[in-house]
Protein backbone atom coordinates (compact mmCIF):
# COMPACT_ATOMS: atom_id res chain seq x y z
CA UNK A 1 0.00 0.00 0.00
CA UNK A 2 2.83 2.39 0.93
CA UNK A 3 4.60 1.65 -2.37
CA UNK A 4 1.39 2.40 -4.29
CA UNK A 5 1.02 5.80 -2.57
CA UNK A 6 4.64 6.70 -3.33
CA UNK A 7 4.27 5.72 -6.98
CA UNK A 8 1.02 7.67 -7.24
CA UNK A 9 2.59 10.83 -5.81
CA UNK A 10 5.60 10.50 -8.10
CA UNK A 11 3.24 10.12 -11.05
CA UNK A 12 1.31 13.25 -10.04
CA UNK A 13 4.56 15.21 -9.69
CA UNK A 14 5.75 14.06 -13.12
CA UNK A 15 2.46 14.95 -14.81
CA UNK A 16 2.42 18.38 -13.22
CA UNK A 17 5.99 19.11 -14.31
CA UNK A 18 5.21 17.82 -17.79
CA UNK A 19 2.20 20.13 -18.01
CA UNK A 20 4.43 23.14 -17.40
CA UNK A 21 6.96 22.03 -20.03
CA UNK A 22 4.30 21.39 -22.69
CA UNK A 23 2.57 24.73 -22.12
CA UNK A 24 5.68 26.90 -22.11
CA UNK A 25 5.87 27.46 -25.86
CA UNK A 26 4.08 30.81 -25.63
CA UNK A 27 1.44 29.85 -28.20
CA UNK A 28 -1.53 30.49 -25.90
CA UNK A 29 -3.52 33.65 -26.59
CA UNK A 30 -4.06 35.80 -23.50
CA UNK A 31 -7.83 35.78 -24.10
CA UNK A 32 -7.84 32.02 -23.44
CA UNK A 33 -6.34 32.31 -19.95
CA UNK A 34 -8.06 31.84 -16.59
CA UNK A 35 -11.24 30.72 -18.33
CA UNK A 36 -12.58 29.02 -15.20
CA UNK A 37 -11.75 31.82 -12.77
CA UNK A 38 -14.39 34.34 -11.74
CA UNK A 39 -11.68 37.00 -11.65
CA UNK A 40 -7.98 37.15 -12.52
CA UNK A 41 -5.06 39.49 -13.06
CA UNK A 42 -1.36 39.39 -13.87
CA UNK A 43 1.02 42.28 -13.23
CA UNK A 44 4.76 42.90 -13.51
CA UNK A 45 5.92 43.74 -9.99
CA UNK A 46 8.56 46.46 -10.54
CA UNK A 47 6.42 48.58 -12.87
CA UNK A 48 2.94 47.57 -11.69
CA UNK A 49 1.87 47.18 -15.31
CA UNK A 50 -1.15 44.96 -15.93
CA UNK A 51 -0.34 42.20 -18.43
CA UNK A 52 -3.68 40.40 -18.24
CA UNK A 53 -7.01 41.00 -16.54
CA UNK A 54 -10.44 39.42 -16.24
CA UNK A 55 -13.15 41.04 -14.09
CA UNK A 56 -10.27 42.50 -12.08
CA UNK A 57 -12.44 44.82 -9.94
CA UNK A 58 -15.22 42.35 -9.09
CA UNK A 59 -15.79 42.08 -5.34
CA UNK A 60 -15.36 38.47 -4.24
CA UNK A 61 -14.53 36.54 -1.05
CA UNK A 62 -10.76 35.98 -0.98
CA UNK A 63 -10.39 33.34 1.74
CA UNK A 64 -6.83 33.00 3.12
CA UNK A 65 -5.37 35.46 0.61
CA UNK A 66 -6.54 37.82 3.38
CA UNK A 67 -3.35 36.84 5.20
CA UNK A 68 -1.26 38.89 2.75
CA UNK A 69 -2.54 42.03 4.47
CA UNK A 70 -1.91 40.46 7.88
CA UNK A 71 1.67 39.69 6.81
CA UNK A 72 2.15 43.18 5.38
CA UNK A 73 1.19 44.79 8.70
CA UNK A 74 3.48 42.37 10.57
CA UNK A 75 6.41 43.34 8.34
CA UNK A 76 5.72 47.04 8.82
CA UNK A 77 5.77 46.54 12.61
CA UNK A 78 9.12 44.77 12.32
CA UNK A 79 10.53 47.48 10.04
CA UNK A 80 9.43 50.14 12.53
CA UNK A 81 11.21 48.32 15.38
CA UNK A 82 8.00 47.71 17.31
CA UNK A 83 8.22 43.95 16.83
CA UNK A 84 11.20 41.58 16.88
CA UNK A 85 11.60 38.25 15.10
CA UNK A 86 12.62 36.50 18.34
CA UNK A 87 9.78 37.94 20.46
CA UNK A 88 7.71 35.17 22.05
CA UNK A 89 3.94 35.47 21.52
CA UNK A 90 1.52 33.84 23.96
CA UNK A 91 -1.47 32.10 22.35
CA UNK A 92 -4.87 33.31 23.57
CA UNK A 93 -7.97 31.17 23.84
CA UNK A 94 -9.45 33.05 20.87
CA UNK A 95 -6.41 32.39 18.65
CA UNK A 96 -6.29 28.72 19.62
CA UNK A 97 -10.00 28.31 18.80
CA UNK A 98 -9.58 29.09 15.10
CA UNK A 99 -10.72 26.29 12.82
CA UNK A 100 -9.70 25.60 9.24
CA UNK A 101 -6.01 25.50 8.36
CA UNK A 102 -3.90 25.81 11.50
CA UNK A 103 -0.61 24.96 13.20
CA UNK A 104 -2.50 23.72 16.27
CA UNK A 105 -1.46 26.33 18.81
CA UNK A 106 -2.53 25.56 22.36
CA UNK A 107 -3.85 28.11 24.85
CA UNK A 108 -0.89 29.65 26.65
CA UNK A 109 1.67 28.24 24.22
CA UNK A 110 4.55 30.59 23.43
CA UNK A 111 5.97 30.77 19.92
CA UNK A 112 8.39 33.21 18.30
CA UNK A 113 7.26 35.78 15.75
CA UNK A 114 9.50 34.10 13.17
CA UNK A 115 7.88 30.70 13.65
CA UNK A 116 4.37 32.17 13.63
CA UNK A 117 5.07 34.02 10.37
CA UNK A 118 6.51 30.80 8.95
CA UNK A 119 3.29 29.05 10.00
CA UNK A 120 1.23 31.69 8.20
CA UNK A 121 3.30 31.69 5.01
CA UNK A 122 3.73 27.93 4.61
CA UNK A 123 0.74 26.30 6.32
CA UNK A 124 -1.72 29.23 6.16
CA UNK A 125 -2.29 28.97 9.91
CA UNK A 126 -5.48 30.76 10.99
CA UNK A 127 -4.44 30.44 14.63
CA UNK A 128 -1.00 31.91 13.90
CA UNK A 129 -2.58 34.82 12.02
CA UNK A 130 -4.93 35.67 14.89
CA UNK A 131 -2.14 35.36 17.48
CA UNK A 132 -0.09 37.92 15.55
CA UNK A 133 -3.13 40.14 14.99
CA UNK A 134 -3.76 40.25 18.75
CA UNK A 135 -0.12 41.08 19.44
CA UNK A 136 -0.17 44.05 17.06
CA UNK A 137 -3.74 45.33 17.53
CA UNK A 138 -4.48 44.23 21.08
CA UNK A 139 -7.50 42.33 19.78
CA UNK A 140 -8.31 40.84 16.40
CA UNK A 141 -11.09 43.41 15.99
CA UNK A 142 -8.69 46.33 16.49
CA UNK A 143 -6.19 44.73 14.12
CA UNK A 144 -8.92 44.52 11.46
CA UNK A 145 -9.36 48.29 11.81
CA UNK A 146 -5.65 48.64 10.96
CA UNK A 147 -6.11 46.32 7.98
CA UNK A 148 -8.90 48.46 6.57
CA UNK A 149 -6.94 51.68 7.19
CA UNK A 150 -4.01 50.21 5.26
CA UNK A 151 -6.35 49.16 2.45
CA UNK A 152 -7.64 52.72 2.25
CA UNK A 153 -4.08 54.10 2.22
CA UNK A 154 -3.23 51.79 -0.69
CA UNK A 155 -6.30 53.00 -2.59
CA UNK A 156 -8.09 49.65 -2.48
CA UNK A 157 -11.67 50.65 -3.26
CA UNK A 158 -12.99 47.08 -3.61
CA UNK A 159 -11.67 45.59 -0.37
CA UNK A 160 -13.05 45.28 3.15
CA UNK A 161 -11.74 43.05 5.93
CA UNK A 162 -13.67 41.57 8.83
CA UNK A 163 -11.04 39.18 10.18
CA UNK A 164 -7.30 38.55 10.03
CA UNK A 165 -7.30 35.08 8.47
CA UNK A 166 -9.97 34.93 5.73
CA UNK A 167 -12.83 32.96 7.21
CA UNK A 168 -16.09 33.58 5.33
CA UNK A 169 -18.05 36.65 6.43
CA UNK A 170 -20.71 38.61 4.54
CA UNK A 171 -18.73 41.86 4.46
CA UNK A 172 -15.29 40.32 3.89
CA UNK A 173 -14.25 40.74 0.27
CA UNK A 174 -11.63 41.98 -2.18
CA UNK A 175 -10.85 41.94 -5.90
CA UNK A 176 -8.09 40.43 -8.01
CA UNK A 177 -6.70 43.89 -8.68
CA UNK A 178 -6.64 44.85 -4.98
CA UNK A 179 -5.02 41.54 -4.06
CA UNK A 180 -2.28 42.21 -6.63
CA UNK A 181 -1.63 45.64 -5.10
CA UNK A 182 -1.23 44.11 -1.63
CA UNK A 183 1.03 41.41 -3.07
CA UNK A 184 3.17 44.00 -4.82
CA UNK A 185 3.71 45.76 -1.48
CA UNK A 186 4.38 42.48 0.31
CA UNK A 187 7.07 41.20 -2.09
CA UNK A 188 9.15 44.27 -1.26
CA UNK A 189 9.80 42.48 2.04
CA UNK A 190 12.31 39.81 0.97
CA UNK A 191 12.01 37.93 4.28
CA UNK A 192 8.43 36.98 3.42
CA UNK A 193 9.61 35.42 0.17
CA UNK A 194 12.19 33.41 2.10
CA UNK A 195 9.33 31.84 4.07
CA UNK A 196 6.68 31.58 1.33
CA UNK A 197 9.24 29.95 -0.98
CA UNK A 198 9.80 27.04 1.43
CA UNK A 199 8.02 23.85 0.40
CA UNK A 200 8.36 21.98 3.69
CA UNK A 201 9.75 22.66 7.16
CA UNK A 202 9.06 21.97 10.83
CA UNK A 203 7.76 23.90 13.83
CA UNK A 204 8.58 22.87 17.42
CA UNK A 205 11.46 20.85 15.95
CA UNK A 206 13.14 18.35 18.27
CA UNK A 207 10.18 18.37 20.66
CA UNK A 208 7.37 15.90 21.30
CA UNK A 209 5.03 18.30 19.46
CA UNK A 210 7.10 18.66 16.29
CA UNK A 211 4.79 19.84 13.47
CA UNK A 212 5.47 19.21 9.77
CA UNK A 213 4.74 22.20 7.56
CA UNK A 214 3.92 21.56 3.89
CA UNK A 215 3.31 24.56 1.67
CA UNK A 216 -0.29 24.93 0.55
CA UNK A 217 1.12 26.46 -2.66
CA UNK A 218 2.33 23.44 -4.65
CA UNK A 219 3.66 25.71 -7.42
CA UNK A 220 6.58 26.53 -5.11
CA UNK A 221 7.81 23.00 -5.79
CA UNK A 222 6.73 22.50 -9.39
CA UNK A 223 7.15 25.81 -11.21
CA UNK A 224 10.56 27.40 -11.80
CA UNK A 225 10.89 30.76 -10.06
CA UNK A 226 7.79 30.60 -7.82
CA UNK A 227 8.57 31.76 -4.28
CA UNK A 228 5.10 32.69 -3.00
CA UNK A 229 2.66 33.93 -2.21
CA UNK A 230 -0.71 32.87 -0.72
CA UNK A 231 -3.41 30.29 -1.41
CA UNK A 232 -7.02 30.44 -0.27
CA UNK A 233 -10.08 28.22 -0.09
CA UNK A 234 -13.50 28.34 1.52
CA UNK A 235 -16.79 26.97 0.24
CA UNK A 236 -17.93 30.54 -0.45
CA UNK A 237 -14.71 31.77 -2.08
CA UNK A 238 -13.81 28.68 -4.06
CA UNK A 239 -10.14 28.06 -4.82
CA UNK A 240 -7.97 31.18 -4.96
CA UNK A 241 -4.27 31.88 -5.21
CA UNK A 242 -1.93 34.86 -5.44
CA UNK A 243 1.33 33.67 -6.96
CA UNK A 244 4.63 35.40 -7.55
CA UNK A 245 7.55 34.12 -9.61
CA UNK A 246 10.86 35.64 -10.65
CA UNK A 247 12.99 34.80 -13.67
CA UNK A 248 16.03 36.85 -14.65
CA UNK A 249 15.20 40.39 -13.49
CA UNK A 250 11.41 40.19 -13.95
CA UNK A 251 8.94 39.31 -11.19
CA UNK A 252 5.33 38.50 -12.07
CA UNK A 253 2.33 38.49 -9.74
CA UNK A 254 -0.84 36.59 -10.67
CA UNK A 255 -4.19 36.32 -8.90
CA UNK A 256 -7.06 33.94 -9.66
CA UNK A 257 -10.28 33.89 -7.65
CA UNK A 258 -13.27 31.55 -7.56
CA UNK A 259 -11.64 28.57 -9.27
CA UNK A 260 -13.50 25.20 -9.20
CA UNK A 261 -10.57 23.14 -7.86
CA UNK A 262 -6.96 23.40 -6.73
CA UNK A 263 -5.82 21.58 -9.88
CA UNK A 264 -7.54 24.11 -12.16
CA UNK A 265 -6.27 26.95 -9.96
CA UNK A 266 -2.68 25.76 -10.40
CA UNK A 267 -3.03 25.00 -14.11
CA UNK A 268 -4.48 28.38 -15.01
CA UNK A 269 -1.89 30.17 -12.88
CA UNK A 270 0.83 28.21 -14.69
CA UNK A 271 -0.61 29.24 -18.07
CA UNK A 272 -0.62 32.90 -17.04
CA UNK A 273 2.98 32.77 -15.80
CA UNK A 274 4.12 31.00 -18.97
CA UNK A 275 2.46 33.67 -21.08
CA UNK A 276 4.00 36.48 -19.03
CA UNK A 277 7.55 35.16 -19.07
CA UNK A 278 7.41 34.19 -22.76
CA UNK A 279 5.91 37.50 -23.90
CA UNK A 280 7.56 40.22 -21.79
CA UNK A 281 10.90 41.29 -20.40
CA UNK A 282 12.12 44.09 -18.15
CA UNK A 283 15.07 46.42 -18.72
CA UNK A 284 16.58 48.72 -16.11
CA UNK A 285 16.72 52.36 -17.18
CA UNK A 286 18.21 53.69 -13.92
CA UNK A 287 19.59 51.55 -11.12
CA UNK A 288 18.57 52.68 -7.61
CA UNK A 289 22.25 53.14 -6.68
CA UNK A 290 23.00 55.49 -9.57
CA UNK A 291 23.92 59.03 -8.53
CA UNK A 292 21.81 61.32 -10.70
CA UNK A 293 23.38 64.63 -9.69
CA UNK A 294 24.75 66.65 -6.78
CA UNK A 295 22.30 69.14 -5.29
CA UNK A 296 22.90 72.15 -3.03
CA UNK A 297 21.50 71.93 0.51
CA UNK A 298 20.34 75.10 2.28
CA UNK A 299 21.31 75.50 5.95
CA UNK A 300 22.88 72.04 6.05
CA UNK A 301 26.03 70.80 7.76
CA UNK A 302 26.98 69.70 4.24
CA UNK A 303 26.81 72.11 1.31
CA UNK A 304 25.55 69.50 -1.14
CA UNK A 305 24.33 65.93 -1.37
CA UNK A 306 24.10 63.21 -4.03
CA UNK A 307 20.64 62.51 -5.47
CA UNK A 308 19.49 58.92 -6.14
CA UNK A 309 16.15 57.38 -7.24
CA UNK A 310 13.87 56.00 -4.52
CA UNK A 311 13.80 52.73 -6.47
CA UNK A 312 15.22 51.29 -9.66
CA UNK A 313 13.53 52.68 -12.75
CA UNK A 314 12.49 49.80 -15.00
CA UNK A 315 10.82 49.55 -18.39
CA UNK A 316 8.54 46.73 -19.52
CA UNK A 317 9.08 45.57 -23.10
CA UNK A 318 7.31 43.10 -25.34
CA UNK A 319 9.78 40.48 -26.61
CA UNK A 320 8.18 40.57 -30.06
CA UNK A 321 8.49 44.34 -30.49
CA UNK A 322 11.37 46.78 -30.82
CA UNK A 323 12.82 48.12 -27.57
CA UNK A 324 11.00 51.21 -26.38
CA UNK A 325 12.77 54.56 -26.72
CA UNK A 326 12.32 56.05 -23.25
CA UNK A 327 14.41 58.91 -21.86
CA UNK A 328 14.32 60.55 -18.47
CA UNK A 329 14.34 64.10 -17.14
CA UNK A 330 15.13 65.16 -13.57
CA UNK A 331 12.98 67.72 -11.75
CA UNK A 332 14.28 68.92 -8.37
CA UNK A 333 12.88 70.90 -5.44
CA UNK A 334 15.01 73.18 -3.26
CA UNK A 335 16.54 71.08 -0.50
CA UNK A 336 16.58 72.56 2.98
CA UNK A 337 18.16 70.79 5.95
CA UNK A 338 17.37 68.68 7.82
CA UNK A 339 16.80 66.07 5.13
CA UNK A 340 17.08 62.29 5.41
CA UNK A 341 17.29 59.27 3.14
CA UNK A 342 13.79 58.42 1.90
CA UNK A 343 12.55 62.02 1.82
CA UNK A 344 11.28 62.78 -1.68
CA UNK A 345 13.19 65.81 -2.97
CA UNK A 346 12.23 65.64 -6.63
CA UNK A 347 11.28 63.20 -9.34
CA UNK A 348 12.44 61.48 -12.49
CA UNK A 349 10.07 61.94 -15.43
CA UNK A 350 10.02 59.08 -17.93
CA UNK A 351 9.31 60.42 -21.41
CA UNK A 352 8.26 58.38 -24.44
CA UNK A 353 7.22 59.92 -27.77
CA UNK A 354 7.22 63.36 -26.16
CA UNK A 355 4.80 62.34 -23.37
CA UNK A 356 5.45 61.77 -19.68
CA UNK A 357 4.52 58.13 -19.07
CA UNK A 358 5.63 57.78 -15.45
CA UNK A 359 7.12 59.66 -12.49
CA UNK A 360 9.53 58.15 -9.92
CA UNK A 361 10.59 59.98 -6.77
CA UNK A 362 14.21 60.77 -5.94
CA UNK A 363 15.87 61.17 -2.56
CA UNK A 364 19.20 62.06 -0.95
CA UNK A 365 21.98 59.47 -0.72
CA UNK A 366 22.74 60.39 2.92
CA UNK A 367 21.17 62.30 5.79
CA UNK A 368 22.07 65.98 6.13
CA UNK A 369 21.59 67.64 9.51
CA UNK A 370 20.64 71.27 9.97
CA UNK A 371 23.23 73.83 10.98
CA UNK A 372 22.74 75.33 14.42
CA UNK A 373 22.23 79.10 14.62
CA UNK A 374 25.82 79.75 15.71
CA UNK A 375 27.17 77.88 12.69
CA UNK A 376 24.87 79.86 10.36
CA UNK A 377 26.27 83.15 11.71
CA UNK A 378 29.81 81.77 11.47
CA UNK A 379 29.33 80.81 7.81
CA UNK A 380 27.88 84.23 7.03
CA UNK A 381 30.84 85.85 8.79
CA UNK A 382 33.30 83.76 6.75
CA UNK A 383 31.47 84.74 3.60
CA UNK A 384 31.71 88.42 4.48
CA UNK A 385 35.43 88.09 5.24
CA UNK A 386 36.10 86.34 1.96
CA UNK A 387 34.13 88.99 0.15
CA UNK A 388 36.20 91.71 1.73
CA UNK A 389 39.60 90.25 0.80
User: Could you confirm whether 112 is annotated as catalytic?
Assistant: no
Instruction: Indicate if 39 belongs to the active site.
Output: no
Measured between alpha carbons, how far is 217 from 65 in angstroms, rounded to an integer?
Answer: 12
Of 38, 56, 67, 230, which residue is the catalytic one?
Answer: 67
For residue 256, give Cα distances in angstroms to 49, 91, 178, 230, 334: 17, 33, 12, 11, 45
Contact status, residue 197 vs residue 219, Cβ threshold 8 Å: no
Rounded to an integer, what distance in angstroms lies between the CA atom of residue 113 and that of residue 81?
A: 13
Which of 39, 92, 101, 124 does the annotation list as catalytic? Answer: 124
> Which is catalytic among the residues 39, 64, 92, 101?
64
Give the three-state DSSP class for 141: helix
Contact criterion met (CB below 8 Å) for 248 and 281: yes
Local structure of 72: helix, strand or coil:
helix
Contacts of 282 (CB under 8 A, 6+ apart): 44, 46, 47, 248, 249, 250, 314, 315, 316, 317
Please say if 67 is a catalytic residue.
yes
| DSSP, res 351 | E
Q: Which residues are bridge partners to 40 per DSSP?
A: 54, 256
Q: Which residues are catalytic?
A: 64, 67, 124
Amino acid sequence: MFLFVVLFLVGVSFCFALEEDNSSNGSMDSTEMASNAKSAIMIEASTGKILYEKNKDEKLPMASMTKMMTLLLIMEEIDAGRLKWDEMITTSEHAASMGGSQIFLEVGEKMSVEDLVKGICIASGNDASVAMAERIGGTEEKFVVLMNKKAEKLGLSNTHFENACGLDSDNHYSSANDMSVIARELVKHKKILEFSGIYEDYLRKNTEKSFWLVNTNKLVRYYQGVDGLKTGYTKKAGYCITTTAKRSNMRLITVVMGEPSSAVRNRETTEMLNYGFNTYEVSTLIDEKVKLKKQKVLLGKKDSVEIVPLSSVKILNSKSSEKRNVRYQLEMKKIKAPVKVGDEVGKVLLIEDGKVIEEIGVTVKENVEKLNLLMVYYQEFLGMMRGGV
